[in-house]
Amino acid sequence: MCGIVGYIGKRQSSSVIVSCLKRLEYRGYDSAGIAVIGNGGIEVRRCEGKIANLEEELKNKPCSGSTGIGHTRWATHGRPSLTNAHPHVEGSIAIVHNGIIENHIELKDDLMKKGAVFKSETDSEVIAHLIYSFIHGENLDFEEAFRRSLRLLKGSYAIAAIKEDEPHKLIGAKRECPMIVGMGKDEYFLASDIPAILEYTRDIIFLDDEEMVAIGRKLPVFKNLKGETVSKESRFIDWTPAMAEKGGYRHFMKKEIFEQPRAIIDTIRGRVSKENGDVWFEYVNIDEEKLKSIKKIFIVACGTSWHAALIGKFMIESLCSLPVEIDIGSEFRYRKPIIGADSLFIPISQSGETADTLAATKLAKSLEATVVSICNVIESSIPRASDGIIYTHAGPEIGVASTKAFTTQIVALYLSALYLARRLNLLTPDDIRERIAGLVKVPSHLEAILESEAKTERIAKKYFKSQDFLFLGRGINYPIALEGALKLKEISYIHAEGYPAGEMKHGPIALIDENMPVVVIALKDGSYEKIMGNIEEVKARGGRVIAVAFEGDEDIGKKVDDVVFIPKTEPLLSPILTVVPLQLIAYHIAVLRGTDVDQPRNLAKSVTVE
Ligand code: AGP
């Protein structure tokens, strides 16, 4: 996700836009830029890296004008670079964009056939060319050209645009990405988020999907894509700036837990075709003969990403009938793995910079394995060392404890398994369609779980003084037991262990008493009877059990002390749901214990040392 800003009013737009962008830097910080309508036309300044670099650029080369747009980038298509930095300009048009234009390739091809020359690798640039082509090819005015362009776009967007010879006009629009309109005194703002403009105004109008706003000398005019005027009410926002950075949430971690539905939608977007019954990855171009020669798959990662890897094993082995070996980065790199040209090596990393995973990746490459990485940060070290890349589109994950990166990694692994199984002719297009239909329901299931947050808060209040926790799961939910334990220990500093439920009797059962809560993932799937047996074993020894179970399970409530219900879903997708109550329980326990939730002691967001 990126941050976008537009300004039109009585002040110098460049200083206002930069100050607004600074408050959006948490949305992305690969590159930044600004376009202002000055006396000599549109002036553009761009930089790689953070907003501070843009400020430096503007100090050296100031630009003046009272109408402008700005952008801070989180790269999704096209590496972080100056040429890919927004704003994108075509002739008299400058635009900034947040979102993913799914059909940018076909739009770009059509425009290039008409002579358009593209300068960047991004999907966003196509928007500037479209608006320009409607103005100069069909003689439409700026607003109509903008509207016609929007109707051609598939995917998500929040766009702000200006036109060189219309300094008194600023246009914005949105679909599935946030955009607000700030109603100042004789000045107006467009922004991705409330934090950006709170210092200037608290009177906000929220644009809805498929709406656009044209701001000129008079009040903003809101229209739908048919050109019909729509009326909008402004709201007064009583947030503090500090709260606003986190979108009203107390911590980035909580915000990122609640961003998971959107992050999953963005990770699926543009990669599944119900029409063709297939899955597609933009940065994976391995020929099918090579894929068919793969005899073994390795998935290697650290920490939470390793837990995702363990889940990927279940997905790929059951859908692709290929052996999958999982390892921790720091272990893989020091052993003699049986790996070679017939192996596919999948490193998983949110940051793309974890030293142990990077070293393992380089070792695998040196042994001639094909490397396809799953990563959240474009052009980071691990993707750059890979033959193919599957980016999770989770947006920047600021909280040290990984949440939305984890669930999007699981989605990326599921899509990978479908991709491979289709190419190995193990799944038909109809099979793929059926599985995609199940996958696209996950975000709404997550929304339902997030709505039951109060239950997890009550559980946290009941157990937050405990000094030890045990998390138990079977099968594909054993890695979720590990992840639940890791979330709790790393942000609350409580000792917590994840264990295969079947292993409890081989040791950990000695720990069971009323002082050590036991969290059990008890889904009505193949192992339910056995899990219920484990719960009985805990209860028989005076232990207290917190269960995560499917809605409609009328038995579990009688056997355990507390239960959080989740919507039913198919086994391979259940980890995406079962982890969320555990994230929330860990979060609320940490808050009650007064720890630094976003930056826990001793931890770093990316462990770039061995
Ligand atoms: C997860 O909550 C931890 N912060 C940590 O285990 C993390 O998953 C691990 O360091 C791997 O990081 P990566 O995904 O960026 O490679």
Give the position, in ligand 1's atom list, of the atom nearest the Cα of 604: 4
240 CB-near residues (< 8 Å, 6+ apart): none
**Of the residues 392, 402, 582, which should be mutated to test ligand 1's pocket, given the most ligand atoms within 8 Å of the CB?**
402
- Other Cβ atoms less than 10 A from the Cβ of 507: the count is 9
SS3 283: strand
Residue 20 among the catalytic residues:
no
Classify strands 518-521 and 545-550 as parallel, antiparallel or unpaired: parallel
* Distance from chain centroid for Cα 465: 33
Per DSSP, 155 falls in state B
Q: Which residues of the chain have pLDDT under 70?
A: 239-244, 608-610
Structure confidence by residue, pLDDT tens digits, 195-249: 889 899 999 999 999 999 999 877 899 999 999 999 999 988 876 666 667 778 8
- pLDDT at residue 259, as a whole number: 94
- Give the distance (Å) from ligand 1 centre to CA of residue 495: 18
User: Do 584 and 419 touch, CB atoms closer than 8 A?
Assistant: no
Query: Which residues does ligand 1 sit against, CB inside 6 Å?
Result: 302-305, 349-351, 354, 357, 400-402, 490, 606-607
Tokens of 388: 């193919």
Catalytic residue among 223, 296, 524, 605: 605
Which residue is associated with the tokens 């700036």? 241
Give the position, in ligand 1's atom list, of the atom nearest the Cα of 382: 16
For residues 397 and 391, give the distance between their C-alpha atoms in angstroms, rounded to a whole number.
14
- Give the distance (Å) from ligand 1 centre to CA of residue 365: 22
Which residue is associated with the tokens 């590496």? 79
Per DSSP, 108 falls in state H
Residue 302 among the catalytic residues:
no
Give the position, in ligand 1's atom list, of the atom nearest the Cα of 303: 6
- pLDDT at residue 602, as a whole number: 78
User: Do 379 and 283 touch, CB atoms closer than 8 A?
Assistant: no
Largest CA distance in the chain: 81
Classify strands 296-301 and 324-328 as parallel, antiparallel or unpaired: parallel
**Of the residues 350, 410, 583, 610, which should be mutated to test ligand 1's pocket, given the most ligand atoms within 8 Å of the CB?**
350
- pLDDT at residue 228, as a whole number: 97
Question: Which backbone phi and psi does 327 adopt, to 5 degrees?
Answer: -150, 160
3-state helix, strand, coil in the chain (%, to 5): 40, 25, 35
Nearest CA to ligand 1 atom 5: 303
Structure confidence by residue, pLDDT tens digits, 52-105: 999 999 999 999 999 999 999 988 888 889 999 999 999 999 999 999 999 999
User: Do 351 and 406 touch, CB atoms closer than 8 A?
Assistant: no
SS3 176: strand
User: Do 179 and 192 touch, CB atoms closer than 8 A?
Assistant: yes
106 CB-near residues (< 8 Å, 6+ apart): none
